[in-house]
């Protein structure tokens, strides 16, 4: 046949504008301009081998390739300029005709697909050739391919069969769906359908060989070590019960890549020898979370992973909690309670996860002063019924004790934590008429402690932390509740009323008890690093509260031994510094911030004492002694006698600890979460320069 297309050699490739085709189809595998002269690049194969598409190998010192030498053929390694003939004039027209034909064929296929409720885009994706690259190279492109899936709005119709009650109206019952369900009935758009029954994940992610561990970002032996550490330590603090679901790392990797990344990240955070590992895992974790934001399908373990991360990763905790709750409601986890009451194990575990989400949500909503996302549903109000299920155990007793506590604290904040306008000290002053409610909430906390502490049992891995944790959380609650009594108080107005002073003293006592209880109990000291963010936040809150109340105590009639406070906080700083060796952990920044504030308070108080005639006889040696870290009793002089009179309140004028000082101590980028939490906790104490 004389009239043929030229050889698609790289030096003679032809591609017109139409050669890119309809729908972006490229007709030439090697696009380039039409060559009318020139020899192009040097050929790598002789003419004979190239025609047969054979491998052309020229032995060293020979002028012929192996094939031509064996067959006695003439081996031509080059071509003359004449070989690159000019294509015929109608070459471009033929290409355009071919593109039009392909376009018409594509339109016909699209019409056929549309008649069968299929998407042409989906069909093209399914029909795309499988890459011949190695599995490791394909796994490196997981996140890239995942992100590309969300660059276009997928307005595609669902090809799943119509449910009988939707496609065929019945005369025996009336089916009423939610508004979005009706919209889906009309449009059949896939992106409108609820995915409550869709627990399947993307095909590639169900295989353990397609995650960041298999890609070499984390050594498999180290991953096994981190997982074992998580099961025996962090898993025990957070009522997760992961050993009931995934006793091995392979099980987790096959279930959810997000849960895998979470476990590796939070465990590396708590191991001082895994700083570099934490950085790698944290990057992978953020990539997984980012892609999950627009994923259509999720699993229950994805929710579990987000919730676990929210309890420990301070910089993203609030965002992760909200994301986990949204996915959980899509999967109808909030509706598993009644199925769990019937003894369904899968729904029992899902209902337990919803309780865990409730606690996580209220940990941060109350700490940040923001409204919670999860409401008081039947599952929350009737949580005692959950304990009657035969599957329930000590783990569920611990979770539900938290649920019960935060039910009380939620009502406290709804009652007292109203919005206040900025720069209006005293606007949120708690009136005397609110004191009966405040007293009732204190009584409820006492009853909560009595009811739940006896129901907690020792744990094989964390010792007496479960019952001791209940006591510690009761101190947290007492501090948060009674701190409202000094909200908006102006220290220039003199002593407080007897009843208000009582609540202020309860707050001071609770803050002191938090620090002394942790310092004096070995099990609490050992568990300090692994506990969730809420515990660390309340330690910081109690410490700063005492430092703020100390120099103002006498002005409002609250008795507080300053030297004891200094010694207590200094011991806590020492404990934190000796417990945490990683600069990625939140406690590292809490210790540094408290140390800065304590040093500033000591320097300012000493300077004021030396310049003020009322404090001229202040013993400087006692100041130094107060900062010694000893387990025995510290020197406790009657600090109140050295304070100046109320009408000449020099210490208060110095404004020892204000918002700027908190910002200096905790306002760095790495400790920004601590500052935000403390700023919200102290925002209602404006009148006392809190």
pLDDT in tens, 459-493: 999 999 999 999 999 999 999 999 998 887 776 66
**Which of 355, 363, 414 lies closest to 384 in space, CA to CA?**
355
Q: What pLDDT does residue 666 have?
A: 56
- pTM here is 0.69
Q: What is the mean pLDDT of residues 230-246?
A: 91
Distance from C-alpha of 348 to C-alpha of 417, rounded to nearest angstrom: 35
pLDDT at 559 over 60: yes
Residue 394 has pLDDT above 50, yes or no: yes
pLDDT value of residue 153? 58
- Backbone angle region of 169, left / alpha / beta, with phi > 0 → left and psi within -120 to 50 → alpha: beta
The secondary structure of 619-671 as a DSSP string is -HHHHHHHT---SSPPP---GGGGSPPGGG-HHHHTT-S-HHHHHHHH-SSTT
pLDDT tens, residue by residue, 674-687 = 555 555 555 544 44
Average confidence score pLDDT of the chain? 75
> What is the model's pLDDT at position 4?
45
- pLDDT of 38 higher than 50: no
Q: Residue 13: pLDDT band by 50, 70, 90 thresholds?
A: very low
Q: Which residue has the tokens 């005639």?
A: 613
Q: For the segment 103-144, what is each residue's pLDDT rounded down to a tens digit? A: 888 888 877 776 665 544 444 444 444 343 343 344 445 444
Residue with more model confidence, 56 or 269: 269
Give the pLDDT confidence of 643-668 residue by residue, as tens digits. Answer: 333 333 333 333 444 445 455 555 55
Assign 449 a pLDDT band (cuts: 50, 70, 90). Answer: very high
Among 27-31, 234-238, 488-492, 514-518, which is the least confidently predicted range?
Answer: 27-31
Beta carbons of 507 and 478 less than 8 angstroms apart: yes
| pLDDT of 561 higher than 60 | yes
CB under 8 Å to 116, separation ≥6 — which residues?
159
| pLDDT tier at 11, thresholds 50, 70, 90 | very low
Give the pLDDT confidence score for residue 115 in this predicted structure: 64
Angle of helix 672-682 versus helix 533-549 axis, rounded to 10: 50
Quote the tokens at residue 331: 């999967």
Q: Across residues 49-66, what is the average pLDDT?
A: 82
Of residues 63 and 588, the one with the higher pLDDT is 588
Which of 393-402, 454-463, 464-473, 615-624 is least confident? 615-624
99 close to 22: Cβ distance less than 8 angstroms: yes
pLDDT band at 222 (very low <50, low <70, confident <90, very high): very high
Query: What's the CA gap between 462 and 398, in Å, rounded?
Result: 13
614 vs 641, more confident:
614
pLDDT at 15: 41
Least Cα distance to 561 among 571, 570, 551 occurs for 551
Q: State the average pLDDT over residues 153-166.
A: 53
Residue 641 is predicted with a pLDDT of 34
């Amino acid at each position: 046949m004389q009239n043929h297309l030229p050889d698609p050699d790289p030096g003679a490739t032809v591609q017109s504008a139409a050669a890119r085709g309809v729908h972006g189809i490229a007709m030439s595998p090697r696009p380039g301009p039409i060559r009318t002269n020139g020899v192009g690049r040097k050929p790598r194969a002789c003419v004979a081998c190239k025609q047969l598409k054979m491998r052309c190998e020229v032995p060293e010192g020979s002028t012929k390739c192996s094939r031509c030498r064996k067959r006695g053929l003439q081996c031509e390694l080059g071509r003359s300029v004449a070989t690159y003939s000019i294509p015929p004039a109608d070459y471009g027209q033929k290409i355009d005709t071919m593109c039009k034909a392909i376009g018409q064929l594509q339109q016909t296929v699209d019409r056929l697909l549309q008649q069968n409720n299929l998407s042409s885009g989906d069909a093209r994706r399914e029909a795309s050739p499988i890459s011949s690259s190695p599995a490791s190279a394909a796994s490196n492109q997981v996140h890239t391919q995942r992100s590309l899936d969300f660059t276009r709005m997928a307005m595609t119709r669902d090809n799943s069969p119509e449910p009988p009650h939707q496609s065929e109206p019945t005369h025996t019952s009336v089916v009423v769906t939610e508004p979005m369900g009706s919209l889906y009935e009309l449009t059949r758009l896939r992106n409108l359908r609820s995915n409550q029954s869709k627990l399947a994940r993307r095909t590639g992610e169900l295989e353990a060989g397609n995650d960041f561990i298999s890609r070499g970002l984390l050594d498999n032996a180290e991953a096994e070590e981190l997982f074992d550490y998580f099961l025996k330590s962090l898993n025990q603090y957070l009522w997760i019960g992961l050993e009931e679901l995934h006793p091995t790392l392979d099980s987790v990797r096959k279930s959810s890549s997000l849960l895998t990344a979470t476990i590796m990240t939070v465990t590396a955070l708590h191991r001082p020898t895994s700083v570099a590992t934490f950085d790698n895992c944290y990057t992978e974790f953020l990539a997984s979370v980012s892609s999950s934001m627009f994923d259509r399908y999720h699993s229950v373990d994805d929710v579990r992973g987000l919730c676990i991360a929210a309890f420990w990763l301070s910089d993203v905790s609030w965002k992760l909690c909200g994301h986990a709750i949204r996915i959980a409601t899509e999967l109808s986890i909030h509706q598993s309670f009644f199925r769990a009451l019937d003894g369904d194990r899968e729904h029992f575990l899902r209902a337990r996860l919803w309780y865990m989400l409730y606690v996580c949500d209220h940990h941060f909503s109350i700490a940040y002063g923001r409204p919670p996302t999860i409401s008081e549903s039947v599952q929350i109000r009737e949580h005692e019924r959950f304990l009657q299920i035969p599957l329930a155990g000590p783990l569920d007793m611990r979770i539900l004790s938290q649920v019960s506590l935060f039910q009380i604290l939620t009502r406290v904040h709804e009652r007292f934590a109203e919005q206040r306008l900025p720069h209006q000290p005293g606007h949120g002053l708690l009136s005397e008429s609110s004191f009966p409610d405040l007293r009732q909430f204190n009584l409820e906390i006492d009853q909560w402690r009595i009811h739940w502490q006896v129901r907690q049992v020792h744990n094989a891995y964390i010792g007496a932390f479960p019952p001791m944790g209940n006591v510690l959380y009761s101190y947290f609650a007492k501090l948060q509740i009674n701190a409202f009594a000094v909200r908006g108080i102006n220290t220039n107005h003199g002593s407080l009323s007897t009843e208000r002073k009582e609540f202020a003293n309860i707050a001071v006592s609770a803050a002191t008890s938090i620090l002394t209880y942790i310092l004096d109990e070995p099990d609490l000291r050992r568990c300090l690093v692994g506990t969730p963010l809420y515990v660390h936040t309340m330690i910081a809150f109690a410490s700063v509260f005492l430092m703020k109340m100390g120099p103002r105590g006498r002005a409002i009639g609250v008795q507080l031994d300053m030297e004891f406070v200094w010694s207590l906080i200094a011991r806590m700083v020492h404990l934190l510094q000796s417990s945490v060796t990683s600069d990625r952990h939140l406690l590292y920044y809490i210790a540094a911030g408290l140390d800065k504030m304590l040093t500033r308070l000591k320097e300012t108080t000493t300077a004021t004492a030396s310049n003020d005639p009322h404090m001229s006889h202040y013993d400087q040696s006692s100041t130094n002694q107060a900062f010694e870290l000893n387990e025995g009793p510290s020197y406790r002089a009657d600090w109140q006698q050295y304070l100046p009179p109320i009408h000449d309140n020099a210490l208060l004028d110095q404004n020892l600890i204000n918002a700027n000082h908190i910002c200096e101590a905790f306002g760095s980028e790495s400790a920004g979460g601590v500052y935000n939490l403390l700023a919200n906790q102290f925002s209602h104490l404006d009148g006392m320069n809190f």
